[in-house]
């Protein structure tokens, strides 16, 4: 960022602030290089001019969505833009194609629902508001179009939202790829389910974060050649191995160690674990627990996560055995051995941990000891075994721990990848990198060195990508950029990794020399890099060194660099664990080739780190990168708080400011020609008056200003750093001069106007003053006369008042004196009475106290005496207890108690055996315990006998006191022991009783449940019997109805015209042709497939077959002719569709509705299907829409549904119901179900001579298929109209940009030109609507369907315009609202022209966009209250939608502001309440593509059709088989 060069007095600038990072103010004075600034918080600041940056006073209050659009691209401008957008809940912001995501610390579900995904699908970057979906879509489209893998690098410190951002990215990629994972889990779900496992084993507490990732994670989403997700994989990089052995206060080791130490007691006992304080690898830091984290619960959660990932119980146990082994391994210490440079196990505690480690790893303890303290050297002559000194043995121990943990972590990652499922044949991938960010603490060690080295590498990759973007932009605009300097950090990388003189190389060299230490290593660094500008030696330290990274200077402590870098690959360790009897541990160490396992090799963690980093960079370089920088706005993790210093540090560490520096090195300010002329045209008005094009006009303005180094591209002006400020200063000067001229003229006008007014006021004031003086004189004389009269009366009044007061005072004094005397007398009497009462109470209290004290003394005396007597009796009892007889009596009592307890236990055993057999094992245990107690009692009895014999002998040999005392003491101890055992048995017996009672209670509950279930089963069986009876009755009723139906058919046959000549025959039978062979069979009266009813004589069977065949052939010919006829466009007769009427009359005459099998319905449906195959033939579609709707209406009024069918409620069919779905639903119903009790009624039109039709199954299926085709044709017409107007809607939502002509021709003329351009698009939409209306009118589509079509089309217009308005900030402007409002007026005018019969309530469907546009164009928005907005202006819009429009609004015409900050805050509170109440918070509308009507709605809305007046078409008019069509019309 270059220093500003055009700071003048009055400029609005940014200056540094220790609290807010940057604060804005205005320049008051400039003294050389010192600038005096008056800040907005009232302070005065003096700063160097090089650290003062100009402020863009014309920047939008809500910020810009792409910070490359900022007029001044510098740190304070970036910070202010992010803060302004964050305050409006706009958490995403672009910097070019880099996305900055600020964690909102609250749920914003409307940003991530499926509607939002659909909006960003296929949208170009920058077309819609910034979003993580846009980055995912760009990566996916680049992969599909170019066939190249892409990567998305998500970075940020812990708590910045990296995991949530990664989750949203994978959700969007899964939405685009559309592949579900195993067992219903998507790929992103499977990857996220692995996070708890990886966090437990790869995350640890650092100085700044409690859950910091100590490894990098690269998630590969794999795609096949068609762009579908085919698999996924998790790659891990750069695990911090040294943390296993060395940690510093107040950090922690990896979480898994602490979780295992908090495991349930049985597991800790199994692994022989204690508290974390007892293990060397954990107690190097005094931090053992995290605030708000329960390690025991986290341990169980980790085990559950392992189950989900697919790690078996055996594998989980083996994993934690290895983790416990590492902890025990760290507690093995060594001391010097007898030989020189030898070591041995230090003490028994270390030996215990050695044996425990061997037990957990299932290897030989001796082999483990030898692997730690011995080394085998293979020479050509012999194999030499040497021992290690204690220090080397400790290094060997730590090397083993780091190697085991590293391989365990690799195994977990491999297991997770197997669970997710990889595709080795994937054509391309999209990788999401989640890795730790730049770290700078108070004390930085080897871990921070490696992490910052990684970030330096990634920053170089980032810088190259940003420079490439700049280069692409320059090439696109065809400007010269070859001299632009590229900001690179290669010198820092050379300082760290260059061979042989880099820091890592020197560290490896120091590690290979036994006598090297941290001081010699630091001195080597000082000598090597003394002249390196990136390397700094601190003044007061001998071992520290400072590296100047891209994010700032970091000072490292070299004290532990050597220890943390050592990582020997020891052959003895490999052999030890390969031979382990634990398959899991052995699997971590597969056998190596013979030559590689003969000796130990030195391997440093730094070198390994560098190789892994190189592998990661190769992966990233093979992909097209995209960057997302996550930012944590505050350290308290609460919404609505934006800490400037914290954010600025993260932007610096995330490389965003470095990207800005790269942009500033080129052309940080870019403006289109129109924008440039609109802002700086005032600098050269003569240029605008000419006829030069925009580019030439910009060239002339810049040349006039004398700027150098700028570039003019094809569409933009590219300005160097500082040139925008210079132009703004010139513009401010020109505007200032113009303002002063205007002020001078207006001040002259105001001064003259004030003078004239003042003169008139003076003359009027003089006349008024003279009149006032005369009035005052008259008033003075009148007052003097009145004063004399007042004085006389006043003196009389005062004398009277004085006398009255004196009289009253005398009376008051007398009254007071008398009252005081009375009160004194009363007070004396009262005091005398009280004194007497007090004396009486005092004497009584004194006597009572004396009595109580006397009583207490007597009680104390009695207690003392009784205690003395009791103590004497106690001594006598003790003496008696010493006697042998008392001991025997106590023993007998104990034996009785034991027998009683034995009997009780046996009784409880029998009782519990009868109640619950499942408790048998516990009773057996109790019996064993009782048996052991009996044995102990018997042993005690034996010992008592022996002791009595010994006591008897001792009595004979010693004095009585000496003989009795030991016996008493020993027997008393035994008694106490037996008493305690009896008490324990009582407790055990009590617990068993409780268990038995619980079992009884459970058994009782189970019995009650069984009884309830039995009752319910009996009720269900009764209901089933009732249903069987009902079904049987219905079947009987069905058979009766069928027999009645046969009789009615025979009667109808005899009455039909075709049966008149045959009715004279004596005997008739109804014959049926089978579908298999076409033969005629005698049988019962039964309708059949293509049934032709004939009458035959039973005496002449030979003549029956030929007439029947001729009738069937004639019927088939008629059907063929009908199909051929309706395949043509028959047109309309009197507004009625001829085809529908002819089909209906033919089917009715042929009685096709009453047969159970016929093919005519299928042929008609096939004809309709073939006619509507051409989707874009709107004329044909509307023709068949009219025919199908009319035919369906006729069928609805003619066919009568069965009882069972009539009970089925009509449901509104959705657009997803296809023809084949409806056919399959119809075929699944049984034909018999259509035969239940049909209803009778009248026929339509003039068909009263025929009975109403009771439809069979084929007719009902035909009606169902016809309904499906009606809905399909309706949907095709509607979708065709949507496709036609969709491109036009995209042009209508945003007003055309005002060109430079607006500066010359004036605002009115420019707006008229733009208005005409926009109206052209709206008129195209109106023309499309009008064309469709004319087509549907010409084909006599029912007005009901026309209204439904236009209602859904207007709803579609409303959804598209409203959603585009909310997703594109450039559309939420005042002028754009005016343009859209004028377009809506065109639609309203068309609705009036089309009349309500064909449009209906379609205009009301535009309510959302109408109210939104009304809000955009309303004036004085800051004065509107929330109640006025929600209830009066925009009652239909939700609070989320209002908030979105209010925050995105900008006035490009008058420069006014949106609603007030109080209204915005109230909206935010209401949104928070809605999110807490689980109210949908999506601000987008959803397009309803369902079918908005049912068959009943259609039939009720259409007028009845008189089919009798419809003339038959010429093709069938003269055919004898269709004579009935003429007969009907004639009648």
**Does pLDDT of 1173 surpass 90?**
no
Of 343, 380, 393, give the one whose Cα is nearest residue 572: 393
Any idea which of 158-167, 421-430, 1023-1032 has the lowest mean pLDDT? 1023-1032
Task: From residue 371, give the alpha-carbon distance in Å to each of 348, 383, 663, 1247.
Answer: 19, 16, 57, 107
Separation CA 1122–CA 1110 (nearest Å): 18
Task: From residue 1372, give the alpha-carbon distance in Å to each of 762, 1412, 1414, 1448, 1457.
Answer: 56, 9, 11, 6, 12
For 507, the token pair is 């560290």
Separation CA 1238–CA 1243 (nearest Å): 15
Separation CA 549–CA 466 (nearest Å): 18
Reported as a single tens digit per residue, the pLDDT across 379-411 is 666 777 788 889 888 888 988 999 999 999 999
> What end-to-end distance do the CA atoms of the chain give, in Å?
97
Cβ-contact 1491, 1271 below 8 angstroms? yes
- Tell whether omega for the bond before 1040 is within 30 degrees of 0, i.e. cis: no
Going by pLDDT thresholds of 50, 70 and 90, the confidence category of residue 1116 is confident
Reported as a single tens digit per residue, the pLDDT across 330-363 is 999 999 888 877 888 988 999 999 999 999 999 9
Separation CA 1433–CA 1424 (nearest Å): 10
Reported as a single tens digit per residue, the pLDDT across 562-589 is 877 877 667 788 888 888 888 998 888 8
Supply the DSSP symbol for 28. Answer: E
527, 528, 530, 536: CA torsion to nearest 10: -100
Going by pLDDT thresholds of 50, 70 and 90, the confidence category of residue 919 is low
Supply the DSSP symbol for 272. Answer: T
Q: Which residues have CB under 8 Å from 877's CB, separation 6+?
A: none
Supply the DSSP symbol for 591. Answer: P
For 1026, the token pair is 């009732």
- Residues with a catalytic annotation lie at 158-159, 163, 209, 212-213, 437, 439
Any idea which of 229-238, 582-591, 769-778, 1016-1025 has the lowest mean pLDDT? 1016-1025
Task: From residue 510, give the alpha-carbon distance in Å to each of 494, 513, 524, 558, 1473.
Answer: 19, 5, 9, 12, 62
Q: What is the pLDDT of residue 1201?
A: 56
**For residues 132 and 943, which has the higher predicted lDDT (pLDDT)?**
132
**Phi, psi of 429, rounded to the nearest 5 degrees:** -130, 160
Reported as a single tens digit per residue, the pLDDT across 309-337 is 889 999 999 999 999 999 999 999 999 88
Reported as a single tens digit per residue, the pLDDT across 1241-1282 is 333 333 333 346 788 888 888 889 999 999 999 999 999 999
Task: From residue 491, give the alpha-carbon distance in Å to each of 548, 1324, 1527.
Answer: 10, 62, 104
Q: What is the pLDDT of residue 1448?
A: 82
Q: What is the mean pLDDT of residues 48-55?
A: 88
Out of 449-453, 834-838, 1237-1241, give the one with best mean pLDDT: 834-838
Going by pLDDT thresholds of 50, 70 and 90, the confidence category of residue 628 is very high
Reported as a single tens digit per residue, the pLDDT across 1284-1305 is 998 888 778 765 554 444 444 4
Any idea which of 263-272, 932-941, 1045-1054, 1431-1440 has the lowest mean pLDDT? 1045-1054
Average pLDDT, the chain: 80
Q: What is the pLDDT of residue 1243?
A: 36
Task: From residue 1437, give the alpha-carbon distance in Å to each of 940, 1360, 1416, 1434.
Answer: 91, 15, 13, 6
Going by pLDDT thresholds of 50, 70 and 90, the confidence category of residue 1086 is very low
The enclosing H or E element of 935 equals: helix 920-957
Q: What is the pLDDT of residue 1408?
A: 92
Supply the DSSP symbol for 674. Answer: H
The enclosing H or E element of 30 equals: strand 21-31
**Does pLDDT of 741 surpass 50?**
yes
Task: Give the other-Cβ count within 10 Å of 378's Cβ.
Answer: 11
For 1080, the token pair is 């005629």
Strand ranges for 475-572 from DSSP E: 535-536, 544-549, 552-557
Strand ranges for 1166-1304 from DSSP E: 1199-1200, 1253-1254
Supply the DSSP symbol for 4. Answer: P
Task: Give the other-Cβ count within 10 Å of 302's Cβ.
Answer: 21
Cβ-contact 99, 130 below 8 angstroms? yes
Out of 420-424, 753-757, 1447-1451, 1483-1487, give the one with best mean pLDDT: 753-757
For 1398, the token pair is 């064909």
Cβ-contact 1471, 1480 below 8 angstroms? no
Of 39, 37, 38, 95, give the one whose Cα is nearest residue 63: 95
Give the whole-number percent of the chain exceeding pLDDT 70. Answer: 84
For 666, the token pair is 């080129």
Task: Give the other-Cβ count within 10 Å of 376's Cβ.
Answer: 17
Task: Give the other-Cβ count within 10 Å of 538's Cβ.
Answer: 11
Burial of 1448 (0-12, 13-18, 19+ CB in 10 A): buried
For 1173, the token pair is 């195959």
Any idea which of 122-126, 676-680, 1067-1071, 1271-1275 has the lowest mean pLDDT? 1067-1071
Separation CA 1515–CA 1529 (nearest Å): 17
Going by pLDDT thresholds of 50, 70 and 90, the confidence category of residue 942 is confident
Q: What is the pLDDT of residue 354?
A: 92
Q: What is the pLDDT of residue 228?
A: 86
Half-sphere exposure of 1470 (CA within 13 A, CB side): 15
For 1412, the token pair is 């939104």
**Does pLDDT of 806 surpass 70?**
yes
Separation CA 1352–CA 1402 (nearest Å): 8
Half-sphere exposure of 85 (CA within 13 A, CB side): 24
**Phi, psi of 375, rounded to the nearest 5 degrees:** -135, 140
DSSP assignment of 199-233, as one string?
HHHHEE--SS-SSEE-SEEEEEEEE-TTS-EEEEE
Going by pLDDT thresholds of 50, 70 and 90, the confidence category of residue 969 is very low
Q: Which residues pair with 216 in a beta bridge?
A: 237
Of 1408, 1414, 1403, 1487, give the one whose Cα is nearest residue 1440: 1408
Reported as a single tens digit per residue, the pLDDT across 1419-1436 is 888 888 888 888 888 999
Q: What is the mean pLDDT of residues 7-30?
A: 89
Cβ-contact 336, 390 below 8 angstroms? yes
Of 90, 78, 28, 35, give the one whose Cα is nearest residue 1366: 90
């Amino acid at each position: 960022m270059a220093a500003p060069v055009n700071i003048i007095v009055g400029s609005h600038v940014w200056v540094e602030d220790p609290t807010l990072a940057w604060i804005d103010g205005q320049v008051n004075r400039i003294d050389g290089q010192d600038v005096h600034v008056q800040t907005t918080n009232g302070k005065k600041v003096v700063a160097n001019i090089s650290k003062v940056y100009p402020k863009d006073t014309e920047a939008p209050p809500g910020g810009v969505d792409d910070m490359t659009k900022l007029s001044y691209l510098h740190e304070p401008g970036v910070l202010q833009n992010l803060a302004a957008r964050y305050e409006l809940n706009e958490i995403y912001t672009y910097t070019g194609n880099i996305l900055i995501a600020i964690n909102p610390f609250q749920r914003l579900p409307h940003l991530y629902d499926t509607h939002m995904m659909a909006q960003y699908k296929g949208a170009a970057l920058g077309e819609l508001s910034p979003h993580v979906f846009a980055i995912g879509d760009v990566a996916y489209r680049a992969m599909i179009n170019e066939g190249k893998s892409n990567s998305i690098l998500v970075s940020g410190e812990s708590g910045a939202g990296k995991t949530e951002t990664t989750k949203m990215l994978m959700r969007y990629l899964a939405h685009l790829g559309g592949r579900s994972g195993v067992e219903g889990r998507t790929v992103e779900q499977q990857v996220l389910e692995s996070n708890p496992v990886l966090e437990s084993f790869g995350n640890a507490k650092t100085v700044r974060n409690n859950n910091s990732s100590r490894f990098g994670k690269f998630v590969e989403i794999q795609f096949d050649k068609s762009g579908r997700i085919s698999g996924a994989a998790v790659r891990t990089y750069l695990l911090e191995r040294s943390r296993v052995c060395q940690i510093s206060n107040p950090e922690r080791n990896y979480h898994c160690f602490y979780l295992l130490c908090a495991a349930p007691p049985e597991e800790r006992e199994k692994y022989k674990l204690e508290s974390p304080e007892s293990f060397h690898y954990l107690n190097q830091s005094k931090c053992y627990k995290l605030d708000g984290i329960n390690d025991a619960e986290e341990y169980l959660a980790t085990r559950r996560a392992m189950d989900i990932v697919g790690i078996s119980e055996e594998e989980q146990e083996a994993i934690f055995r290895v983790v416990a082994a590492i902890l025990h391994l760290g507690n093995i210490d060594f001391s010097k051995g007898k030989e020189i440079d030898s070591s041995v196990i230090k003490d028994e505690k270390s030996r215990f941990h050695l044996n425990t480690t061997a037990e957990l790893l299932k290897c030989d303890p001796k082999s483990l000891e030898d692997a730690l303290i011995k080394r085998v050297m293979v020479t050509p002559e012999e194999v030499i075994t040497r021992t290690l000194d204690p220090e080397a043995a400790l290094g060997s121990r730590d090397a083993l721990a780091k190697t085991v943990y590293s391989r365990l972590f690799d195994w977990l990652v491999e297991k997770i990848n197997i669970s997710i499922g990889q595709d080795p044949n994937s054509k391309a991938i999209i990788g999401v990198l989640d890795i730790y960010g730049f770290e700078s603490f108070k004390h930085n060690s080897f871990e921070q060195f490696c992490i910052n080295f990684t970030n330096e590498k990634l920053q170089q990759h980032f810088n190259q990508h940003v420079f490439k973007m700049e280069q692409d932009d320059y090439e696109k605009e065809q400007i010269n950029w070859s001299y632009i300097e590229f900001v690179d950090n290669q010198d820092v990388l050379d300082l760290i990794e260059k061979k042989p003189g880099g820091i890592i190389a020197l560290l490896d060299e120091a590690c290979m020399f036994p006598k090297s230490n941290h001081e010699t290593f630091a001195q080597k660094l000082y000598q090597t890099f003394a002249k390196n500008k990136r390397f700094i030696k601190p003044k007061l330290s001998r071992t520290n060194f400072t590296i100047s990274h891209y994010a700032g200077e970091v000072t490292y402590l070299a004290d532990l660099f050597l220890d943390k870098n050592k990582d020997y690959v020891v052959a003895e360790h490999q052999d030890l664990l390969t031979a382990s009897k634990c398959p899991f541990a052995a699997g971590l160490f597969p056998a190596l080739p013979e030559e590689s396992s003969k000796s130990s090799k030195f391997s440093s963690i730094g070198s390994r780190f560098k190789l892994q980093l190189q592998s990661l960079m190769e992966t990233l370089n093979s992909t097209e990168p995209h960057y997302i920088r996550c930012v944590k706005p505050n350290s308290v993790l609460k919404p609505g708080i934006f800490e400037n210093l914290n954010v600025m540090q993260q932007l610096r560490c995330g490389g965003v400011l470095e990207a800005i520096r790269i942009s500033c090195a080129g052309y940080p300010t870019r403006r289109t020609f129109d924008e440039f002329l609109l802002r700086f045209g005032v600098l050269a008005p003569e240029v605008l008056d000419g006829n030069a094009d925009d580019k030439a006009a910009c060239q002339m303005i810049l040349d006039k200003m004398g700027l150098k180094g700028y570039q003019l591209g094809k569409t933009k002006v590219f300005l160097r750093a500082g040139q925008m400020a210079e132009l703004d200063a010139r513009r401010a000067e020109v505007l200032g001069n113009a303002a002063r001229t205007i002020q001078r003229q207006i001040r002259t006008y105001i001064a003259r106007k004030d003078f004239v007014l003042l003169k008139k006021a003076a003359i009027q004031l003089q006349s008024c003053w003279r009149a006032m003086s005369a009035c005052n004189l008259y008033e003075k004389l009148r007052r003097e006369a009145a004063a004399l009269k007042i004085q006389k009366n006043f003196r009389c009044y005062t004398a009277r008042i004085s006398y009255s007061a004196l009289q009253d005072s005398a009376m008051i004094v007398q009254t007071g004196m008398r009252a005081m005397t009375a009160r004194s007398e009363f007070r004396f009497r009262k005091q005398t009475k009280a004194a007497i009462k007090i004396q009486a109470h005092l004497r009584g209290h004194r006597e009572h106290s004396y009595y109580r004290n006397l009583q207490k003394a007597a009680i104390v005396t009695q207690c003392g005496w009784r205690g003395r007597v009791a103590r004497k009796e106690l001594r006598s009892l003790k003496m008696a207890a010493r006697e042998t007889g008392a001991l025997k009596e106590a023993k007998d009592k104990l034996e009785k108690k034991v027998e009683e307890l034995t009997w009780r236990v046996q009784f409880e055993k029998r009782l519990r055996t009868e109640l619950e057999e499942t408790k048998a094992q516990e009773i057996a245990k109790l019996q064993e315990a009782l048996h052991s107690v009996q044995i102990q009692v018997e042993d005690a009895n034996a010992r008592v006998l022996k002791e009595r014999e010994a006591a008897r002998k001792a009595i004979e040999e010693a004095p009585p006191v000496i003989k009795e005392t030991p016996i008493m003491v020993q027997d008393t101890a035994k008694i106490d022991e037996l008493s305690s055992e009896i008490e324990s048995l009582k407790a055990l017996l009590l617990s068993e009783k409780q268990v038995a009672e619980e079992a009884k209670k459970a058994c009782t509950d189970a019995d009650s449940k069984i009884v309830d279930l039995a009752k319910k089963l009996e009720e269900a069986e009764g209901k089933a019997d009732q249903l069987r009876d009902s079904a049987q009755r219905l079947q009987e009723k069905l058979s009766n109805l069928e027999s009645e139906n046969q009789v009615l058919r025979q009667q109808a046959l005899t009455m039909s015209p075709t049966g008149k000549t045959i009715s004279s025959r004596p005997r008739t039978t109804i014959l049926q042709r089978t579908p298999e062979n076409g033969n005629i069979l005698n049988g019962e009266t039964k309708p059949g497939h293509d049934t032709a009813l004939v009458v035959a004589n039973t005496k002449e069977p030979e003549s029956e077959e030929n007439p029947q065949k001729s009738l069937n052939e004639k019927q088939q010919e008629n059907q063929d002719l009908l199909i051929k006829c309706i395949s043509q466009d028959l047109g309309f007769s009197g507004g009625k569709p001829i085809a529908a009427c002819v089909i209906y009359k033919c089917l009715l005459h042929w009685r096709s509705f009453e047969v159970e099998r016929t093919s005519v319905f299928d042929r008609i449906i096939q004809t309709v299907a073939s006619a509507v195959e051409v989707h874009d033939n709107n004329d044909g579609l509307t023709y068949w829409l009219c025919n199908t709707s009319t035919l369906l209406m006729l069928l609805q009024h003619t066919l009568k549904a069965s009882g069972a069918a009539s009970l089925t409620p009509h449901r509104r069919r959705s657009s997803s119901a296809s023809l084949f779905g409806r056919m399959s639903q119809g075929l699944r119903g049984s034909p018999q179900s259509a035969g239940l009790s049909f209803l009778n009624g009248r026929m339509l039109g003039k068909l009263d001579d025929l009975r109403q039709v009771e439809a069979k199954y084929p007719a009902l299926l035909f009606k169902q298929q016809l309904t499906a085709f009606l809905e399909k044709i309706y949907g095709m017409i509607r979708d065709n109209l949507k496709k036609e107007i969709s491109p036009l809607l995209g042009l209508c939502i945003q007003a055309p940009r005002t060109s430079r002509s607006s500066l010359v021709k004036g605002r009115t003329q420019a707006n008229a030109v733009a208005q005409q351009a926009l109206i052209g698009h709206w008129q195209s939409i109106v023309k499309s609507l009008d064309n469709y209306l004319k087509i549907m009118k010409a084909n006599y589509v029912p007005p009901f369907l026309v209204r439904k079509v236009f209602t859904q089309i207007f709803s579609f217009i409303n959804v598209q315009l409203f959603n585009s308005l909310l997703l594109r900030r450039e559309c939420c402007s005042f002028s754009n609202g005016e343009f859209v409002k004028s377009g809506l007026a065109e639609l309203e005018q068309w609705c009036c022209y089309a009349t309500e019969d064909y449009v209906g309530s379609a205009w009301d469907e535009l309510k959302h966009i109408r109210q939104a546009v009304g809000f955009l164009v309303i004036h004085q928005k800051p004065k509107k209250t929330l109640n006025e907005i929600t209830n009066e202006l925009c009652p239909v819009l939700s609070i989320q939608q209002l908030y979105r429009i209010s925050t995105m609004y900008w006035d490009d015409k008058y420069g006014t502001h949106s609603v007030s900050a109080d209204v915005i805050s109230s909206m935010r509170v209401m949104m928070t309440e809605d999110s807490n109440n689980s109210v949908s918070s999506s601000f987008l509308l959803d397009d309803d593509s369902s079918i908005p009507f049912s068959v009943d709605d259609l039939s009720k809305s259409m007028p009845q059709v008189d089919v009798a007046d419809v003339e038959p078409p010429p093709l069938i008019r003269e055919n004898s088989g269709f004579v009935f069509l003429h007969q009907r019309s004639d009648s």
